[in-house]
Amino acid sequence: MGSNQYGIDPDRLTEYAYEIKSLTESGIEVAIVIGGGNIFRGVSGASKGMDRVQADHMGMLATIINGLALQSALENLNVPTRMQTAIAINEVAEPFIRRRAMRHLEKGRVVIFGGGTGNPYFTTDSAAVLRAIEIEADVILKGTRVDGIYTEDPEKNAAAIKFDTISFEEVLQKGLKVMDTTAFTLSQENNLPIIVFDMNKKGNLQKVVSGDNIGTTVNI
């Protein structure tokens, strides 16, 4: 949503599309799980009295709206893209089929996964880890507003110390917030490393995949 209060900022969307395009031009296979908090956040809706299952379904639909927007931005840059959803919505996107997704990646297409896991009570963090495991991804890149994992929230405490690397066990022991517990545990059990980095700094995505010391790496 950029600097807006809600919705989609076309300029920010284009920036992300250029970042992603730079990876595809390097021959890197890219799959994306996208959130929907800029439109509707299920947990927030439920906290205001809405039925949690209904609220989560609305949040899943929001991720599909964002996915379609990102798909359009990528295709405007001539990046071949396919969108798959965990909720059947055949008129606008393919259903999630693991083998088809992997085939798209092999052909150099960016694959966007919308609709979360398709189930209430699971976040897009969980969807990201689940899909990454299913398509045999090498790493999860978690783009955030901060440049890594800190001892405390750096937006609230300027004295917070950043970790360059940290183990799954240390994250749990220190009670650090990287992903929701379900997603984080699933990643740990499958030895899938996570890199947390600032997605809003131009060029960072390419630097991360090039092995530069950007963000924080979580591994065994």
Write down the H helix ranges in 77-203: 98-106, 124-134, 168-174, 181-189
Tell me how far CA of residue 143 lies from CA of 89, 90, 146, in angstroms. 27, 29, 8
Residue 128 phi/psi, 5° resolution? -60, -45
Q: Write down the pLDDT at residue 28.
A: 96
Pairing of strands 162-163, 149-150: antiparallel
Q: Write down the pLDDT at residue 4.
A: 84
* Delimiting residues of CATH 3.40.1160.10 domain(s) in the chain: 1-137, 138-220
Q: What residues contact residue 121 under an 8 Å CB cut-off, 6+ apart? A: 52, 56
Which DSSP category does 31 fall into?
E
Residue 58 near residue 88, CB atoms below 8 Å: no
Q: Write down the pLDDT at residue 145.
A: 87
Q: What number does CATH give the domain 1-137?
A: 3.40.1160.10
Q: Which CATH architecture has domain 138-220?
A: 3-Layer(aba) Sandwich (3.40)
Q: What residues contact residue 56 under an 8 Å CB cut-off, 6+ apart? A: 42, 46, 116, 120, 121, 122
Cα-based angle 153, 61, 196 (whole degrees, multiple of 5) = 25
Q: What residues contact residue 24 under an 8 Å CB cut-off, 6+ apart? A: 30, 79, 108, 110
d(CA 10, CA 194): 28
Average pLDDT per consecutive 10 residues, the chain (220 residues; last block may be shorter): 87 95 96 93 85 94 97 98 96 97 98 97 96 97 93 89 95 91 95 95 93 92
d(CA 182, CA 82): 27
